[in-house]
Structure 1
Amino acid sequence: MPLHSRNGGLSTPLLSSSSAPSSNSSSDTDESPAPSRRHDFPDLHFPIPKPPISPSQSYKSLAILSGHIGSVSCLSLCGEFILSASQGRDIIVWQHPDLRQFTKFGQGDGSVKAILTVGNKVFTAHQDSRIRAWKVSRRSENVFRILDTLPTTKDCLGKFMRQSNYVQTRRNHKKLWIQHADSISCLAFHNGHLYSGSWDKTLKVWSLSDFKCVESIKAHEDAINGLISSHGVVYSASADGKIKAWRRTEKERIHSLVGLMEGHTDVSFNTVVVSEDGGFVYGGGSDGYVMGWDRVGGKRVCEVKAHEMAVLCMCVMGGDFLCSGSADKSIGIWRREMNGGIFRVGVIKGHEGPIRCLQASPFSVGGGFMLYSGSLDRSLRVWWVPKYCDRSEEKSADRFLRLPSV
């Protein structure tokens, strides 16, 4: 039986077979803790322009989506849905192809800090130090149905009697080691495990089979702002100015530190991404720099002054491209070279506030890519960005994609 949206319109299938995990790896700056320093889209209807000679004018604004009561803090792609969340706790579901609001859902105290899609499940991280697990269901009127809250009540009850299960979080204050003691800022997924990074400086590992917390790592000396998983390694970016690489050993079933990348002195890393081939790691800093390292040797391959203000978020787009969002209200488009270096090929402007989150579609559209950006101006914007490759790519951009106006 087909689903219907709340406004009576016929909806499209909830999740396509091409759905893939999508993570948010950026961090807040407006609510940051006090640090020590402190597939082609079907039936899209819009004329996609042929990339002109000037790359700075080649992007196209397709839609401005509004409706959040607070600043947009994170977003994720979920099949043909776009999920965006705000500091007002509301999560809005936008539906392709018309980019209209499909539904809202949400629960918990404080703002939503991160959204992660894994198959038919959605995980949301919150300022109240909890993770909510949601199921996307075709059979329920409540399409996004709450499954559980992590840590689960069962997991807490099984541990609260033993004093050895408690850790010191602040002076005269203890918590179970499975509980975060501060806002959860980022989420990642790998091989049946969910990873959560928090301003409490810890990285926790959760089993998706039973939602139990299986490991807690004292990962950094300051707040963790970003997480990303790639090729069996999980990378954490922190306000302590370090990006750390973690790998789980199957024999001991614990994570070990396998890499360390350091940035500028007294500069926070707000976000981390990894190139599609897994060969290079890039971090965005509070000083506006984007820095990159060779994953294998750990050698620094680039150090670029990307923005005038802090880099708050980044995403990988189309394999050889990176996007960076900044507090200066701009989005930088970067192409990666063979040696890992990056050079700017475009700048996107239009938001009236800092760019808080970015997400690119993994599929090519009309010789370019769909890019989604969320801002502290409370809007979610949809862009088409060309590949900035060779002239042969321009031919595919001449065809028309049709997207109703919003």
Structure 2
Amino acid sequence: MVLTMSASLPEPTLSTPLLSSPETSSRTSSSRSEEDRYKPITPFELLDIKSQFSSLTLSGFHSYRSLAVLSGHIGSVSCLALCGEFILSASQGKDIIVWQQPDLRMFTKFGQGDGSVKALVTAGNKVFTAHQDSRIRVWKVSRKSENVFRLVDTLPTTKDYLGKFMKQRNYVQTRRNHKRLWIEHADSISCLTVYKGLIYSGSWDKTLKVWRISDLKCLESIKAHDDAVNGLVACKGIIYSASADGKIKAWGKQGNKSSSSSSSSSHSLKGILEGHKDISLNSVVVSEDGKWVYGGGSDGFVMGWEEVMNGEYLSWKLVCEIKSHQMAVLCMCLVGENLCSGSADKTIGIWKRDFEGKIFKIGVINGHEAPVKCLQASNDNVGGGFLLYSGGLDKSLRVWWVSKHRNSAQENKEENSIVLA
């Protein structure tokens, strides 16, 4: 079965920014010989959308629909990324699966045997994957090669390593009687984010490292937190790191936060967003305008801060704290004024942000059979809603259509706009 959209629910346009060739997403059977070995593909389970319709808000204005359950991972799904026409999902089982939109069929696999995957991001025609073995792997995406996702380097690069290993000043103490080069992470890399030609990596070794995409060189290593770094996000010149020490720290380059200074300039601490005492902050997200920052904690709370500019100085004030889940918040994502939170209680919370930055619940999505570990949302507007992708410890990737907040008349008008063909 194939998911199709009616005239009243236009299918989102899927761009292909990571493809180095302008070919279309459809490929002939002769050009897909390498991927044919993955067929027949483990089929995704397309659910009856109408029967799955469920009202989510107390006022009855919000809904979600389960579109697909994708299986195929050998371990729990740990991270997701949207990559042009593809959805990338990675697991603790070391495998990365590429799903092709809009039919959500498995396109290929890559990365097997390279260590449990903890995070992945895309930049240009490259995919960066962070692993439990404390390395970052770089994959080039190209339609010109049969091996569409090809491993091209590992960070730190051999060139970077050889340029530093002979000098003692380049070594740092990582634990008792053990030293490493400062360009190396000493423990699992838990998170990645991309911003203006740079890759930022956070690790259980409590550090934040900065890498330049153009030459893959490590520029900086920051002793960021007193415990593991769990989440990273960047916006408007500020990098936010969430940690198991219960803090979110804001980092920026010297000078004005919007400065276009060179990528080699160092970062400094701009502020600390305090969470609850004795909890871990597992994830952090920021609004597109950089004004609102939200952190998800191990106590089930979502906390929100507002950015305040005092002359040339930045500060953040707490504007909301709400018990969002019965168990730890493990992941979050923002789509406009909608915030989605995934939890160890197996549910996904859907929240709406008001003009003061406060959030209120408009829905709860049930369906996962284990904790929800990662979330990604598409910014494409689909029938007055958006597509939400969730990965869980139940080894599944699930696809949801989530309605945006609107009046009930408009909701009812579009209720039958998604059909099966």
Identify the TM-score tier after normalising by the shorter chain. 0.7 to 0.9
51 and 393 in structure 1: CA distance in 2 versus 1, 3 angstrom threshold: farther
Residue 47 of structure 2 contacts residue 66 of structure 2 at CA under 8 Å; is this kept in 1? no
Shift of 1:398: 4.8
Question: What is aligned with 1:312?
Answer: 330
Question: What is aligned with 2:276?
Answer: 264
TM-score scaled by length of structure 1: 0.86
Q: Please state whether the residue corresponding to 1:351 is helix, strand or coil.
A: coil
Please state if 1:286 is matched with 2:298.
yes
Residue 49 of structure 2 contacts residue 67 of structure 2 at CA under 8 Å; is this kept in 1? no
Return 5+ residue gaps in structure 2 as ranges. 1-22, 40-45, 255-260, 309-314
Identity over aligned pairs, percent: 67
Distance 1:77 1:131 in 2: 19
Q: 2:379 aligns with which of 362, 368, 372?
A: 362
CA offsets 1:314-353 (integer angstroms, 9 cap, x no match): 0002x10100000000000000011010000000000000
Q: 1:342 aligns with which of 359, 362, 369?
A: 359
Aligned length: 370
Please state if 1:298 is matched with 2:316.
yes
Higher relative contact order (CA 8 A, sep 6+): 1
1:231-250 to structure 2, matched below 5 A, reads 231-249=236-254, 250=261
Q: Please state whether the residue corresponding to 1:364 is helix, strand or coil.
A: coil
Q: 1:96 aligns with which of 98, 101, 107?
A: 101
Question: What is aligned with 1:64?
Answer: 69
Question: What is aligned with 2:11?
Answer: none
Residue 241 of structure 1 contacts residue 263 of structure 1 at CA under 8 Å; is this kept in 2? yes
Shift of 1:7: 3.3
Question: What is aligned with 1:174?
Answer: 179
Shift of 1:278: 1.4
Q: Please state whether the residue corresponding to 1:59 is helix, strand or coil.
A: strand
Distance 2:128 2:38 in 1: 27
Q: Please state whether the residue corresponding to 1:7 is helix, strand or coil.
A: helix
Distance 2:67 2:212 in 1: 39
Higher deviation after alignment, 161-170 or 381-390: 381-390
Question: What is aligned with 2:36?
Answer: 7
163 and 191 in structure 1: CA distance in 2 versus 1, 3 angstrom threshold: same
CA offsets 1:149-196 (integer angstroms, 9 cap, x no match): 000011000000000000000111000000000000000011110000
Distance 1:52 1:145 in 2: 42
Question: What is aligned with 2:130?
Answer: 125
Residue 201 of structure 1 contacts residue 221 of structure 1 at CA under 8 Å; is this kept in 2? yes
CA offsets 1:21-59 (integer angstroms, 9 cap, x no match): xxxxxxxxxxxxxxxxxxxxxxx9996899876537721
246 and 149 in structure 1: CA distance in 2 versus 1, 3 angstrom threshold: same
Q: 2:403 aligns with which of 386, 389, 399?
A: 386
Question: What is aligned with 1:18?
Answer: none
What RMSD in Å do the two structures reach over aligned CA positions? 2.4
Shift of 1:394: 2.8
Return 5+ residue gaps in structure 1 as ranges. 11-43
Question: What is aligned with 1:162?
Answer: 167
Distance 1:198 1:127 in 2: 9
Distance 1:299 1:55 in 2: 29
240 and 140 in structure 1: CA distance in 2 versus 1, 3 angstrom threshold: same
Q: Please state whether the residue corresponding to 2:380 is helix, strand or coil.
A: strand
Residue identity opposite 1:141 in structure 2? E
Distance 1:88 1:118 in 2: 24
Distance 1:114 1:209 in 2: 20
60 and 152 in structure 1: CA distance in 2 versus 1, 3 angstrom threshold: same
Question: What is aligned with 2:57?
Answer: 55
Distance 1:376 1:327 in 2: 9
Distance 2:349 2:247 in 1: 23
Shift of 1:80: 1.2
